[in-house]
Chains A and B, each alone.
Chain A
């Protein structure tokens, strides 16, 4: 037993590997999700998030590595461990000819025994009470998503695994989901949410894990991750980006500065001690470039992009392996 499986851990994986033919989906994933938190599981398309979710719910089996759910090992033949786990993997799955209520009753007939009254409670919780008798085939994507979240909560799980739960939800739906998940975490339950909506994760998650090429590249609380990165953001005019990067690289070192791909052009991220940001300004000025803005720190989006944008999709057999990440704050090695 390593520390990864220490007490107070709701979910842990160690050396998780999975291949689909020649394609590597997971390449030694080490994950540790503390009990009672909302954990944001981030990664670009094909990074291995959904494969991880599938392994954690017994839909597929890892080639090697270990999984522990709620303090006990989980592998083939341990399906009853899932009685305490609720999940929404990829798109919500329902019988289109049944109503929302009938679908929840059908799902409740599988796995852990669930009280009938729970179905009604959850339909109210996800604001589908008035449409509960309508066929699911007539539901919008957002309504199906809300019904999927209700289905995941049926057995009052200790651990909730949600794959892109905000898909199709309107702003009110997202806010409602956020409140529900925060309340669950406050009640001591653990929620793992994979998402591409970084701003949403930033508002929702206590702890974040970033995965790329089937490996975890960062893990920690959002505050820790952002402060640990020590980034400074500089904004110049778009035609000055190349000159600015050259000037900053000359000061900090090659590769320290990179242009951001966000909606606002001209932003450059520099890995540099924020306390010395005046030196960056001077270096730019010496090069004849004047920064329009300088911001200390980084956003989750820029951190995500800097960690994952340069890496090709998982599965490229010849893809360079990402650099070994330093131990993140809070990581038990």
Chain B
């Protein structure tokens, strides 16, 4: 427990934690501002209607969550890679191992702290996104009556849990990549590369790519059941997994990523 608490304390003080969160919120706000501005300037009635639906509750809950998941997936990979990679880059893993700390324990508890922060980031970003949507609705003149929809609100905890699981898996993937690369920068770079490569590949091999980590994590919530993954933040139609299958696939990727991180750390010869 003392190591887990120590990891939480480190992440609280870590600039990467705040930079990642601010990026997520900033990109989310940018999308919503673009939607609102577009709806007011567009002469196309269909585009204006689409923009209005974007900020119309209770559907806006699902849309905000899908956006957080889409942008957050990429950021969670980079965050996980930054945390795991820095242990190698800064040599702090070396210090822990030389003190007799378990390599597997150190890796998994480090990841556990990261997953706590990705879940907190998800909740905070979702709350900010909902408030921003509500503000957008007021600007456009859409009613906020749907915000109190009991069915939508009742389903939110489960949807948020699913999203938290997906982001935790994305962070674990970043963890594994950086552990294999033994480098913070390489881990982040490869993580971003994989994110975009998977998005592009989904255009050509949708039935295969839907089993891949980013596509599966984008499909865990019911809002994504209609089928979309993101390419650079832009939704692309594809044949998504159904949400429950996606959860199973996400868990499998999470376990595999953690196993790779632990095994790699356990077997590594640590220098530097």
Contact = CB atoms under 8 A, between A and B. Distances in A.
B20 to A, nearest CB: 14
A102 interface: yes
Contacts of A109: 2-3, 5-6
Interface string B1-23: 01101100110011100000000
Contacts of B14: 95, 97
Interface residues of B, number: 27
A79 B105 CA distance: 12
Contacts of A112: 99-100
B157 interface: no
Contacts of A58: 97-98, 100
B146 interface: no
Interface size class of A (residues with CB under 8 A): 20 to 34
Contacts of B272: 90
A105 B13 CA distance: 13
Interface string A105-117: 1110111110000
B102 interface: yes
B101 A79 contact: yes
A83 B270 contact: no
B91 interface: yes
Contacts of B86: 95
B94 A105 contact: no
Nearest to A86: B99
Interface in A72-96: 79-83, 85, 87, 89-91, 93-96
A106 B100 contact: no
Interface of B: 2-3, 5-6, 9-10, 13-15, 86, 90-92, 94-102, 106, 269-272
Can you list the 8 inter-chain pairs with the closest CB atoms, starting with the nearest?
A111-B99, A93-B91, A82-B100, A109-B6, A57-B98, A110-B101, A110-B96, A59-B270
Given A97-B13, A110-B100, 15 more contacts: A54-B270, A58-B97, A59-B94, A60-B269, A60-B271, A80-B100, A85-B100, A89-B98, A90-B271, A95-B86, A102-B9, A107-B99, A109-B2, A110-B6, A110-B99
25 contacts: A58-B100, A59-B270, A60-B271, A79-B101, A79-B102, A80-B100, A82-B98, A89-B94, A90-B272, A93-B90, A93-B95, A94-B92, A97-B13, A97-B14, A98-B13, A105-B9, A106-B6, A106-B92, A107-B95, A110-B99, A110-B101, A110-B106, A111-B101, A112-B100, A155-B99
Interface of A: 54, 57-61, 79-83, 85, 87, 89-91, 93-98, 102, 105-107, 109-113, 151, 154-155
